[in-house]
Structure 1
Amino acid sequence: MRLIIRKTVYLQKTVMPMYIHEHKEWPSFSWDKELVGEKLNKVNKAVGYLMGRLSVIGFNDKMSAVVESISHDIIASSEIEGVELNNEQVRSSVARKLGVQLPNPTESSRYIDGVVEMALDATVNFNSPLTHERLFGWHNCLFPTGWSGPTKIDVARYRSGDMKVISGMFGREKVHYVAPAPERIDEEMNRFLDWFNSDAHNGYVKSAIA
């Protein structure tokens, strides 16, 4: 006598994630203007206080503060991408490019000099229009050799392949984000640059949306 065991298989409906660029109202954003307005008032008050403090210190001290601020932004931004930069090399590179004398400056790497050059153009020349060519210039500063470690990359142009943000072990990867398809990039970037260069919003609001 054969014993037959029947297995009942329950199929669970798979819910596919929707990424922000797939939303039907993309790229229109909305927010609570009253709540944001309250936050902006606090930010503007803090900025006014900071500008007041900076106005009473000497030029050298002011430039030293600028070096520290930009250096901190560069280091923190790189940490978000999982890249740890040498603090002293970044400070020395920023100071050298701004003409600020530091005691015992440190020789910086070519990569750090590229990151600093990009960051200074973005901050010092913040009033200049953002263009495709400017973005490509920043990209070239980051990857002057055309390589990122052992990986060959497309320098100074938009990607031609798919892009995903993935974590986890091989075979057990978790997909956190899927970027727009490469054929959409030109249209999306044109739309983004037109919006970014417009006077549509307060600068702080614009940075949050971007």
Structure 2
Amino acid sequence: MTWNWERLDWPDFTHESKALQALEERFLVQSGELVGIQRHIGADDQDVLRIELISDEAVKTSEIEGEILDRDSVQSSLRHQFGLGSTSLRVKAAERGIAEMMADLYHNFAQPLDDATMFAWHRMVLSGDRTVRVVGGYRRHAEAMQVVSGPDYRRKIHFEAPPSSRLRAEMKRFNAWFNATAPGGKRPLAALTRTGIAHLYFESIHPFEDGNGRIGRALAEKALAQSLDRPSLIALAWTIERKRKGYYAALERNNKELEITAWLSYFAETILEAQRNTIRRMDFFLAKAKFYERFRGKLNARQDKVVARLFAAGTDAFEGGLSAENYISITKTSRATATRDLHDLAEKGALTRTGELRHTRYFLNLRQWG
């Protein structure tokens, strides 16, 4: 098996620019849509939205690697990082570390890339980890760095990275490439093209003992932010996590050759989907703010609790809608009271109603207030 880094022309990746032209244009259009939506959100609400989006990215980029974090703890740490209050919870090292990395990425996206930045991120990502030999530095072990699956007697090698002895030179070259291809660099590349190459290039080197996926996705976010000249807030990890198998399969399909048009097309489509997801979530957030502005003080405690639960479900909401049984379960009230409350919510225009009798379902009415 020959890996991409073993080829004589490594790391000279090639691709067909025309295959990405329409995707690059769509990225710029959708970026404009995101800016337009943000302009309609007040300063205080923008702080809340920023914390929600960044915390979801922090949680999801860790979940992709099989690490489940507490979202409330991550948000608490982020609010502290952004100067929006002290940490109100006892935040564990893992939650605090990923929040610190995401805040650093947000504030310092425009800075050139260097070893010091990635070493700092690595210390943050692996904060509290006692199993990794080198934290805050590139791996140094002599054994091969492999991505494998299956039992020992039938192990499948998905990828093998360059040996540790090559890392100093490989990462010096990677950092130089990343900085040269940035806007204003010596060899600037289009946003999606540069981001896709950066992610695959970094993952092919796999310079750390652990944390390569999270740092590689942070580099993708940094590349996008530099192209936009502002923090992207794009739900990249949130989108990848939903199709994690496809993401790993795409990486594996493209770790042997240096012609990577297929990979760049895949990753560009993923970024565009992430943008669309962010647009949907910003629209939802804006509609939520307007909804509460309209109905503040007009709902009883039970209704407030159910509405809050519906909003907490996010853009996915309750699958199939809210039923009277759901309402009873959430509020612990009687069927007669639940029926009366739901009828009142529909009459006020807070919820829309579909179906009849036991098939009756209710949905948040966001069109009128969004």
Under a length normalisation based on structure 2, what TM-score does the superposition of the two structures give?
0.48
- Alignment of structure 1 residues 14-93 onto 2, 5 Å: 17-93=1-77
After TM superposition, give the deviation of residue 35 of structure 1 in Å. 2.3
Cα deviation for residue 69 of structure 1 reads 1.5
Deviation at 1:197, TM superposition (A): 1.1
Give the deviation of 1:125 after TM superposition: 0.7
- What root-mean-square deviation, in Å, do the aligned CA atoms of Structure 1 and Structure 2 show? 2.1
Distance 1:154 1:84 in 2: 23
Q: Deviations over 1:139-179 (max 9, x none)?
A: 122334562xxx24112221112311111123332211111
The Cα of 1:204 is off from its aligned counterpart by: 2.8
CA–CA distance in 1 between the matches of 2:192 and 2:62?
A: 21
Partner of 2:122: 139
Post-superposition shift, 1:96? Answer: 2.3
Q: Which residue of 2 aligns with 1:157?
A: 137
**Structure whose residues are more often helix by fraction:** 2
Partners of 2:127 and 2:48 in 1: CA distance: 29
Specify which structure has the bigger relative contact order, considering alpha-carbon pairs within 8 angstroms and separated by 6 or more residues.
2
Out of 125, 130, 137, the residue aligned to residue 108 of structure 2 is: 125
Cα separation, 2, equivalents of 1:88 and 1:145:
19
- Taking the aligned partners of 1:57 and 1:21, their CA distance within structure 2 comes to 46
Question: Within 5 Å, which residues of 2 pair with 1:169-180?
Answer: 169-180=151-162
Of residues 171, 175, 194, the one that matches 1:189 is 171
Q: Deviations over 1:76-118 (max 9, x none)?
A: 211221212122222222122113369x964421221111111
Instruction: Summarize deviations over 1:21-65 as a string: whole Å, max 9, x none.
Output: 123322112222222110011111111011011112211111112
Secondary structure of the 2:147 match is strand
Q: 2:77, 2:91 within 8 Å by CA — same for their partners in 1? A: yes
Name the count of aligned residue pairs: 190
User: Equivalent residue of 1:127, what SS?
Assistant: coil
Q: Is residue 90–residue 116 contact of structure 1 (8 Å, CA) maintained in 2?
A: yes
Which whole-Å deviations, capped at 9, do the CAs of 1:164-207 have from their partners, x for residues lacking one? Answer: 11111233322111110111111110000001112321233211
Aligned CA distance change for structure 1 residues 154 and 57 (closer, same or farther; 3 Å) = same
Q: Share of identical aligned residues, percent?
A: 30
Query: Residue type matched to 1:159 in 2?
Result: R
Matched letter for residue 139 of structure 2: R
Q: Which secondary structure state, in structure 1, belongs to the residue aligned with residue 137 of structure 2?
A: coil
Mapped to 2, the partners of 1:128 and 1:165 lie a distance apart of 31
Q: 2:46 & 2:151 partners in 1: Cα distance?
A: 47
Task: Give the secondary-structure state (helix, strand or coil) at the position aligned to 2:154.
Answer: coil
Unaligned runs of 5+ in 1: 1-16
**Matching of residue 98 in structure 1 with residue 82 in structure 2:** yes
Q: Does 1:115 align with 2:98?
A: yes
3-state DSSP of counterpart to 1:62: helix
CA distance in 2 between counterparts of 1:130 and 1:169 reads 38
Separation in 1 of the partners of 2:136 and 2:3? 26
Matched position secondary structure for 1:67: helix
Q: Distance in 1 between matches of 2:63 and 2:33?
A: 29
Aligned amino acid, residue 208 of structure 1: G
